């Protein structure tokens, strides 16, 4: 009786072969780099790094590592941002102060100023800092902006992973800004979201913003 062999699709990248069997699982097989007589090892290393980064980006695109935008994002019925899921890759000002994993303190855009500014002026400051600050080398892209709300997608430089970051200027005459930063994929973020928010806050502090607490 003839043996049955499941069909397999092979995807070839630079010095790598990725097998994509019909059952959905895949395996990456790396070959040993060939010897080279090139007299510029630094250029070789840089070229290898660029090629491998391109390969990882292609893999990220194939397997859609960017993830799908959560449907619950935006201002909630209680006029606050959404809570975090149970995973350890999200922080939000909407969480309880006792939740040390997910809670982060809100900001006050007039907290460190002698002369208060308007909400419109503070929004411009926030947008400028978002565009100019890349603490984790993720690329920010503003996908939604309203008078009191901003949604930014931060995309990783290699695999195309996406984090959703939201900012909300709370209603009323106060100067409070709430925020939420969460990864779409995985269970851990190695504090990427918290470090990103901290870096943004530190830049905003130069303009007169303050946090209720530092972290």
Q: What is the pLDDT of residues 185-212, one digit of tens each?
A: 989 899 999 999 999 999 999 999 999 8
Q: Which residues contact 41 (CB under 8 A, 6 or more apart)?
A: none
CB crowding 100-117: b at 16 or more within 10 Å, else e: eebbbbbbbbbeeeeeeb
16 neighbors 55 (Cβ within 8 angstroms)? yes
Domains of the chain: 8-31+39-62 (no CATH), 90-211 (3.30.310.80)
What confidence tens digit (pLDDT) does each residue in 134-178 have? 988 899 999 999 999 999 999 998 889 999 999 999 998 899 999
């Amino acid at each position: 009786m003839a043996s049955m062999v499941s069909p397999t699709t092979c995807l070839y990248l630079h010095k790598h072969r990725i097998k994509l069997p019909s059952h959905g699982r895949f395996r990456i097989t790396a070959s040993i780099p060939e010897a080279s007589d090139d007299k510029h090892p630094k250029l070789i290393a840089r070229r290898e790094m660029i090629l491998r980064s391109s390969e990882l980006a292609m893999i990220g695109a194939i397997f859609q590592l960017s993830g799908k935008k959560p449907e619950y994002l935006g201002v909630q019925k209680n006029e606050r941002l959404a809570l975090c899921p149970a995973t350890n890759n999200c922080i939000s000002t909407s969480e309880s102060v006792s939740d040390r994993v997910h809670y982060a303190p809100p900001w006050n855009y007039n907290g460190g100023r002698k002369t208060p500014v308007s909400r419109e002026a503070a929004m411009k400051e926030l947008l400028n800092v978002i565009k100019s600050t890349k603490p984790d080398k993720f690329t920010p892209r503003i996908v939604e902006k309203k008078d009191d709300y901003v949604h930014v997608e931060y995309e990783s430089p290699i695999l195309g992973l996406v984090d959703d970051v939201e900012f909300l200027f709370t209603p009323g005459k106060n100067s409070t800004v709430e925020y939420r930063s969460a990864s779409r994929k995985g269970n851990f973020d190695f504090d990427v979201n918290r470090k990103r928010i901290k870096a943004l806050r530190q830049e905003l502090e130069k303009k007169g913003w303050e946090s209720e607490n530092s972290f």
